[in-house]
């Protein structure tokens, strides 16, 4: 029937439920533009192999242009009787150039090599956009870090106060994983840039077509080395699903921090009106919905990866129809990030931080205890003993209901004889932060170097 590519050996059409199960136009139509691009390259290959005359070739290309126009304007779309994007577009081409010429295009190719090529071409374009939008989030973090250079905050491990850090240092700690995600996307492009066209159903083509020429025509860097692998491999799709899930996980961690910072208890930051939502009943509410949706969607992105890997596990070579199930999860992951990333950039870029509050809390929770120990080490006390003495200072303060910066010279002899008055000089947030000036550390000089390094990365990204 129309829009079906395989009627010959069958005495009748498929059962309704068979067709309903098989049909994929509701999700693969988004590949239509890539299918037409593939058809142009394939028409060129047929012509070079002498299977299309010069006239047929130019009529075919003109027909494909017209079909592309009809698809773009919505004049042509999948009909309920079309099984998939390939069948629908063959029907559309025949509408334009007639059944005779339209029927020549399928020679030497199979939907198996077509779909594998289309998905790779589509993913190459899409991940480029994801990388650009990720840069927007990185830039929002970078400019907030730049703006707040010098503002201290409590650094936490296990959610407990650990050591004072600069707010900019923390913000940049959320930026670097996203830089690595962009690097992952770029690296993945190398594996996506290999064209399966010419693999045909699995064994390759007998019609004298040149897969390398088709690959070059389509902007791929080469064609596949093995036609069976070319049609059956979806590891590149799974890898894309992984990187997208990793982006989700990285954004989820950032979101968790933003949510925490914006609580009354922390009071480190306030969300901009445009990037938060209210409550239908509680008039005072300003909810961190962007961050919560990021956290929630990361679960969905992980699910898409896990589902795809489960689909691929245990499939025999070569093409199996199970492979059609790769599309909805990867499309969904892309769609989710495409709406999420601009909102994340907006939310992060418009956060108002409260330096008084973060500074006030930076030395609390005995977060300068390590500095006491480090000071003792500089006085040649072995670190194990220094750790004990600093711990005793914390215990002493706890008993008195004070914190380490509140110690006076009179307190010191009650703790340990090794504690000279000099230690009181390092018991400041500023001193503790400034002392960690080695590469990667929290001192302003190191964070400024980091900012420059990040800007360099962004320029080359
Ligand atoms: N729709 C299929 C897919 O997405 C491609 C068509 C191959 N179908 C087939 N019966 N060989 O993988």
Classify residue 319: in a domain, yes or no. yes
Flag whether pLDDT at 2 surpasses 60: no
Residues 245 and 314 in one domain: yes
Residues 42 and 76 in one domain: yes
Distance CA 268, CA 353 (A): 6
Higher local confidence (pLDDT), 5 or 200: 200
Q: What is the pLDDT of residue 460?
A: 85
Distance CA 216, CA 181 (A): 27
Give the total number of structural domains in the chain.
2
Q: What is the pLDDT of residue 194?
A: 98
Residue among 431, 393, 355, 449 at smallest CA distance from 164: 431
> What phi and psi values does residue 199 have, to the nearest 5 degrees?
-70, -25
Select from 231, 321, 327, 331 the residue to mutate for testing ligand 1; criterion: most ligand atoms less than 8 Å from CB. Answer: 321
Residues 101 and 116 in one domain: no
- ipTM comes to 0.96
Output DSSP code: residue 408: -
Task: Kindly report, residue by residue over 56-101, the tens digit of the pLDDT.
Answer: 999 999 999 999 999 999 999 999 999 999 999 999 999 999 999 9
Ligand 1 pocket residue status of 428, Cβ below 6 Å: no
The SS3 of residue 270 is: strand
Residue 29 domain boundaries: 16-107
Q: Under a CB-based contact definition with an 8 Å cutoff, are residues 337 and 358 in contact?
A: no
Q: What is the pLDDT of residue 9?
A: 85
Residues 322 and 234 in one domain: yes
Cis before 246 (ω within 30): no
Classify residue 3: in a domain, yes or no. no
Q: Locate 36 and state its tokens.
A: 């037409």
Q: Locate 442 and state its tokens.
A: 């929290």
Query: What kind and span of H or E run contains 223?
Result: strand 222-223
Q: What is the pLDDT of residue 461?
A: 79
Q: What average pLDDT does this structure show over 374-399?
A: 96
Residue among 170, 156, 157, 227 at smallest CA distance from 194: 227
Is 279 an annotated catalytic residue?
A: yes
Distance CA 414, CA 403 (A): 15
Q: What is the CATH number of the domain that holds 307?
A: 1.20.200.10
Flag whether pLDDT at 410 surpasses 60: yes
Task: Kindly report, residue by residue over 269-308, the tens digit of the pLDDT.
Answer: 999 999 999 888 888 889 999 999 999 999 999 999 999 9
Flag whether pLDDT at 254 surpasses 80: yes
Task: Kindly report, residue by residue over 141-193, the tens digit of the pLDDT.
Answer: 999 999 999 999 999 999 999 999 999 999 999 999 999 999 999 999 999 99
Residues 87 and 178 in one domain: no
Residues 163 and 309 in one domain: yes
Q: Locate 327 and state its tokens.
A: 């599309």
Q: What is the pLDDT of residue 283?
A: 86
Q: Which of 297, 332, 360 corresponds to the end of one domain?
A: 360
Select from 116, 324, 325, 330 the residue to mutate for testing ligand 1; criterion: most ligand atoms less than 8 Å from CB. Answer: 324
Classify residue 252: in a domain, yes or no. yes
What's the mean per-residue pLDDT of the chain? 96
Q: What is the CATH number of the domain that holds 54?
A: 1.10.275.10
Task: Kindly report, residue by residue over 7-24, the tens digit of the pLDDT.
Answer: 788 888 899 999 999 999
Is 158 an annotated catalytic residue?
A: yes
């Amino acid at each position: 029937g129309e829009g079906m590519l395989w009627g010959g050996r069958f005495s009748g059409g498929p059962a309704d439920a068979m067709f309903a199960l098989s049909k994929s136009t509701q999700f693969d139509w988004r590949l239509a533009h890539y299918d037409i691009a593939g058809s142009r390259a394939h028409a060129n290959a047929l012509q070079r192999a002498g299977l299309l005359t010069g006239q047929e070739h130019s009529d075919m290309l003109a027909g494909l242009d017209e079909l592309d126009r009809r698809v773009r304007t919505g004049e042509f779309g999948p009909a309920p009787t079309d099984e998939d994007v390939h069948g629908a577009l063959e029907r559309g081409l025949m509408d334009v150039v007639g059944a005779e010429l339209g029927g020549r295009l399928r020679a030497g190719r199979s939907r198996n090599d077509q779909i594998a090529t289309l998905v790779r071409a589509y993913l190459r374009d899409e991940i480029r956009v994801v990388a650009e939008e990720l840069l927007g989030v990185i830039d929002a973090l970078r400019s907030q870090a730049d703006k707040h250079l010098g503002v201290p905050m409590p650094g936490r491990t296990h959610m407990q106060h650990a050591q004072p850090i600069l707010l900019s240092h923390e913000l940049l700690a959320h930026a670097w994983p996203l830089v690595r995600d962009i690097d992952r996307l770029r690296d993945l492009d190398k594996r996506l840039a290999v064209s399966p066209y010419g693999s045909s159903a699995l064994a390759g083509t007998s019609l004298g077509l040149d897969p390398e020429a088709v690959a070059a025509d389509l902007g791929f860097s080469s064609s596949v080395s093995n036609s069976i692998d070319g049609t059956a491999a979806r590891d590149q799709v799974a890898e894309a699903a992984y990187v997208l899930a990793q982006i989700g996980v990285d954004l989820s961690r950032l979101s968790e921090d933003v949510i925490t910072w914006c609580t009354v208890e922390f009071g480190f930051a306030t969300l901009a009106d445009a990037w938060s939502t209210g409550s239908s009943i509680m008039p005072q509410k300003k909810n961190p919905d962007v961050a919560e949706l990021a956290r929630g969607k990361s679960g969905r992105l992980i699910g898409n990866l896990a589902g795809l890997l489960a689909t691929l596990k245990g499939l025999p070579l070569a093409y199996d129809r199970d492979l059609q199930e790769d599309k909805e999860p990867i499309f969904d992951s892309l769609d989710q990030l495409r709406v999420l990333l601009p909102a994340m950039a907006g939310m992060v870029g418009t956060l108002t931080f409260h330096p008084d509050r973060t500074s006030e809390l930076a030395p609390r929770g005995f977060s300068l205890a390590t500095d006491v120990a480090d000071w003792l080490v500089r006085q040649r006390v072995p670190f194990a003993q220094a750790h004990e003495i600093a711990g005793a200072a914390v215990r002493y303060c706890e008993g008195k209901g004070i914190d380490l910066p509140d110690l006076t010279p009179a307190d010191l002899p009650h703790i340990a004889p090794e504690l000279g008055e000099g230690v009181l000089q390092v018991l400041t947030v500023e001193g503790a932060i400034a002392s960690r000036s080695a590469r990667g550390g929290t001192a302003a000089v190191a964070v400024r170097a980091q900012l420059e390094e990040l800007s360099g990365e962004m320029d080359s990204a």
